[in-house]
């Protein structure tokens, strides 16, 4: 377990550096949509810190796929669940998502569809690569 916690922290720190970039994209989109006009220094600091935390958790949680005793379905559920909580809590805390049922349901639907599509693309890509490698091994 200690190894997994160390891996979590390493992966998290590597991706946390992207937090400010993610924040810039979010603030740009909110500005273009007319949701925000200006930010206070406190809002900028809160945004940088919370998005860096969000990126840290998102990067670190991929360690669940390295746990030998955890079935793939369990790893997917844990990974997806933690990512969902990570994103929705940060979005709600920062006020980027209204605290109302409709926006939360829309966010949830978009997250679920996006997560499933990305996971399926990775799964099929990996499966195709494995098939190619197995074919090469059989031929040699």
Assess whether 75 and 126 both reside in one domain.
no
* Residue 67 φ then ψ, to 5°: -80, 115
Q: How many CB atoms lie within 10 A of CB 46?
A: 16
What would the two tokens of residue 21 be?
Answer: 């970039």
- What domain range includes position 116? 99-140
Assess whether 35 and 89 both reside in one domain.
yes
53 closest CA partner among 96, 5, 85: 85
Assess whether 89 and 139 both reside in one domain.
no
Assess whether 11 and 32 both reside in one domain.
yes
Assess whether 42 and 58 both reside in one domain.
yes
Assess whether 78 and 118 both reside in one domain.
no
* pLDDT computed for residue 34 by the predictor: 87
Position 16 pLDDT exceeds 90: no
Q: Is residue 92 within 8 Å of 99, Cβ to Cβ?
A: yes
* pLDDT computed for residue 121 by the predictor: 94
Per-residue pLDDT of 36-74, as tens digits, reads 888 888 988 898 899 889 988 998 998 898 887 889 899
Per-residue pLDDT of 82-134, as tens digits, reads 999 999 999 999 998 999 999 999 999 999 999 999 989 988 999 999 999 99
Position 19 pLDDT exceeds 80: no
CA distance linking residue 4 with residue 57, whole number of Å: 13
Determine the average pLDDT of the residues in 9-36.
82
Q: What pTM was estimated for this model as a whole?
A: 0.78
């Amino acid at each position: 377990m200690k190894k997994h916690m160390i891996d979590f922290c390493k992966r998290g720190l590597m991706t946390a550096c992207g937090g400010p970039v993610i924040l810039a994209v979010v603030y740009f989109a909110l500005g273009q949509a007319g949701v925000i006009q200006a930010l206070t220094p406190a809002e900028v600091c809160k945004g940088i810190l919370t998005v860096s935390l969000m990126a840290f958790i998102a990067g670190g949680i991929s360690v669940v796929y390295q746990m030998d005793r955890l079935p793939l379905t369990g790893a997917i559920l844990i990974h997806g669940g933690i990512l969902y909580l990570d994103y929705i809590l940060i979005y709600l805390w920062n006020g980027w998502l209204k605290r109302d049922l409709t926006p939360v349901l829309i966010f949830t639907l978009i997250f679920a569809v996006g997560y499933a599509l990305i996971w399926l693309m990775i799964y099929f890509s990996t499966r195709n690569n494995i098939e190619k490698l197995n074919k090469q091994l059989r031929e040699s």
